[in-house]
């Protein structure tokens, strides 16, 4: 294998080794919030009961609710949760808009096809993102190159490196695959001879491989010395046999790694929800256990036995029998009596436990996901509530839109474009030629911003109406056409409902011409009436003269 590839493999191995300390924290976090994934420092077996060490499931349910909210609020199935537009382009003609809408529909069809695994992979990624602040999903072409498929990967098997601009430019993924499947994917001529031997003896024998995607600036040239023309290079390596299976150029990274909150000096992110909620989750488990024990003692209290009176073990089972000395005189006290348990602290413990649950709920943004109730409020109160909602929800929605949904849509569009799904470049409408495609997304945050604009406009109109009563000259202070256009855009009113600025200008010109024609017609009518009156007057004068 090329020395350069050996160096890349060595760098990746060192990266996996350096990150082992982070696995300890991820393991602790997973044991409290995501026990199914708590195998960073130990191995799960098929029969493991994942949550056997927990006394309450509330932290798990909080994580599930947040991850489900991300999917239902930001990527709702069957709805147009993203749309294409052009960067820095103020106006798109009708043909261009029609092409973008058609491309939107084609992308959604590809992404939500069952065999592509988009829903399954993003669901797994949502849970990783909420729990660990990182997640890894790959977007690859199918073997026949006719489609794409999505797959989520365990964080312990993937590491990545950043460039100077803090953008991920190198990804290493550990991959255990059977010898039979390795030959099926790459062909017998590309795999090592030992792999073919293993496939004959034991087709299910596992081979330790690694997939590496690295920027071409780092990798430079091919093994044959030729320069790569693509932004990235994809390498499949048989680590067991030190064999380079495949080396190809790639136009995209093929991995989307959304990161929630990064810290300077580290390429790995953290989940602010898990960081804030972990102490309360631990406390909640301890308190639940204490309350369970206290409740059990109050229902089935410990027994007090009189010395030398009890002749057998104290049997606390239903219907159990405890033998007492026949000669014992119970006037000296009962031979066996329940311990007096003070139950006054149970209610206090339950109240503190409920407060701790609320802290976990707040840490996972669950109290910030619902739009505020605004019925019966004034316009000012509604605007204030909406602004408060935007401020609280911004850390959650914005990072997901940019790092997560935006990265997936950009990569899927590029991959489908390279395969000619959207047609040929020369067939693009003229308004889209050479333009940069950008995506916008629907979310409760966007809806709230649209509502805030509408409230501002209504408040401005009301102020204008009051001011116009004193000074009618201020009536044209607001450009109502431009203001309504902004409100409609923020409220996601369908584009076909709103006339374009060019169409509006034509309508205004037609109305102006019609007004001029009406004025001319009125002048002509008045002139005709005046002429008739003049003729009548002349006729009367001449008749009088005769």
Over the chain (546 residues), what is each successive 10-residue block's mean pLDDT? 82 94 95 95 86 92 92 80 77 78 87 88 94 95 82 96 92 94 92 93 93 89 72 93 91 94 91 94 93 81 72 69 73 73 79 93 84 67 67 72 89 90 84 82 62 67 73 71 64 58 70 74 65 60 57
pLDDT of residue 225: 66
pLDDT of residue 529: 60
pLDDT of residue 492: 55
Cα of first residue to Cα of last residue in the chain, in angstroms, is 128
Taking a C-beta distance cutoff of 8 angstroms, is the pair 205, 4 a contact? no
Q: Where are the alpha helices (DSSP H) in 191-307?
A: 193-201, 216-219, 272-299
Residue 247: phi and psi, rounded to 5, are: -140, 110
pLDDT of residue 255: 96
Q: Where are the alpha helices (DSSP H) in 209-271?
A: 216-219
pLDDT of residue 39: 93
Q: What pairs with residue 84 in β-bridges?
A: 439
Q: Please report, for residues 190, 194, 197, 203, the alpha-carbon distance to residue 200 in angstroms, rounded to integers and kept in the order given.
A: 16, 10, 5, 6
Q: Where are the alpha helices (DSSP H) in 300-443?
A: 345-363, 379-400, 406-418
pLDDT of residue 286: 93
356: which residues sit within 8 A by CB, 6+ positions away?
Answer: 280, 283, 284, 287
Q: Tell me the Ramachandran region of residue 378: left when phi exceeds 0, alpha when psi lies from -120 to 50, beta otherwise.
A: beta
Q: How far apart are CA 35 and CA 58, in angstroms?
A: 13
Q: How far apart are CA 6 and CA 242, in angstroms?
A: 8
Cα–chain center distance at 149: 18
Rg of the chain (C-alpha set):
36
Dihedral over Cα of 393, 399, 402, 403: its sign: negative
255: which residues sit within 8 A by CB, 6+ positions away?
Answer: 136, 137, 138, 139, 158, 160, 168, 171, 173, 213
> Which tokens go with 185?
């994917």
Taking a C-beta distance cutoff of 8 angstroms, is the pair 31, 282 a contact? no
pLDDT of residue 527: 60
């Amino acid at each position: 294998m090329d020395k350069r590839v050996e160096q890349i493999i060595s760098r990746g191995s060192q990266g996996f080794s350096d990150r082992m300390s982070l696995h300890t924290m991820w393991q602790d976090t997973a044991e409290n919030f995501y026990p199914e994934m708590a195998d960073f420092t130990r191995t799960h077996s098929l029969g493991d009961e994942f949550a056997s060490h927990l006394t309450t499931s509330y932290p798990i349910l909080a994580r599930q609710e947040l991850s489900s909210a991300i999917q239902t609020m930001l990527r709702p199935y069957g709805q147009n949760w993203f749309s294409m537009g052009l960067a820095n382009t103020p106006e798109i003609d009708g043909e261009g808009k029609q092409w973008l809408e058609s491309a939107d529909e084609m992308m959604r069809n590809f992404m939500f096809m069952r065999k592509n695994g988009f829903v399954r992979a993003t669901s797994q990624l949502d849970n990783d993102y909420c729990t660990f602040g990182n997640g890894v999903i790959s977007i690859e072409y199918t073997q026949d190159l006719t489609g794409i498929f999505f797959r989520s990967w365990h964080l312990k098997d993937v590491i990545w490196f950043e460039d100077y601009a803090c953008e991920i430019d190198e990804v290493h993924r550990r991959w255990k695959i059977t010898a039979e499947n390795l030959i099926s994917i790459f062909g017998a001529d590309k795999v090592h001879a030992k792999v073919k031997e293993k496939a004959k003896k034991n087709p299910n024998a596992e081979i330790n491989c690694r997939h590496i995607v690295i920027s071409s600036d780092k990798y430079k040239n091919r093994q044959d010395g030729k320069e790569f023309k693509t932004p990235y290079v994809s390498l499949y390596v048989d680590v067991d046999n030190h064999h380079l299976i495949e080396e190809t150029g790639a136009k995209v990274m093929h991995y989307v790694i959304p990161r929630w909150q990064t810290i300077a000096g580290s390429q790995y992110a953290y989940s602010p929800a898990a960081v804030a909620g972990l102490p309360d989750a631990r406390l909640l488990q301890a308190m639940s256990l204490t309350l369970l024990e206290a409740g059990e003692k109050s229902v089935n209290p410990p027994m007090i036995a009189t010395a030398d009176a009890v002749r057998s073990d104290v049997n606390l089972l239903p219907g159990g029998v405890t033998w007492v000395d026949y000669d014992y005189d119970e006037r000296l006290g009962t031979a066996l009596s329940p311990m007096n348990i003070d139950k006054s602290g149970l209610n206090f413990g339950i109240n503190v436990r409920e407060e701790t649950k609320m802290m976990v709920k707040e840490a996972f943004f669950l109290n910030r996901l619902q739009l505020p109730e605004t019925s019966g409020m004034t316009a000012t109160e509604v605007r204030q509530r909406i602004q408060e909602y935007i401020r609280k929800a911004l850390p959650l929605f914005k990072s997901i839109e940019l790092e997560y949904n935006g990265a997936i849509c950009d990569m899927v569009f590029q991959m489908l474009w390279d395969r000619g799904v959207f047609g040929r470049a020369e067939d693009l409408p003229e308004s889209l030629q050479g333009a940069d495609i950008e995506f916008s997304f629907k979310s409760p945050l966007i809806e709230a911003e649209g509502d805030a604009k509408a409230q501002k406009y209504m408040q401005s109109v009301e102020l204008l109406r009051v001011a116009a009563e004193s000074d009618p000259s201020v009536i044209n202070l607001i450009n109502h056409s431009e203001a309504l256009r902004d409100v409609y855009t923020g409220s996601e009113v369908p584009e076909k409902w709103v006339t374009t600025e060019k169409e509006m200008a034509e309508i205004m010109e037609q109305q102006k011409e019609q007004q001029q024609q009406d004025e001319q017609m009125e002048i002509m009518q008045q002139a005709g009436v005046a002429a008739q009156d003049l003729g009548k007057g002349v006729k009367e004068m001449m008749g009088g003269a005769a």
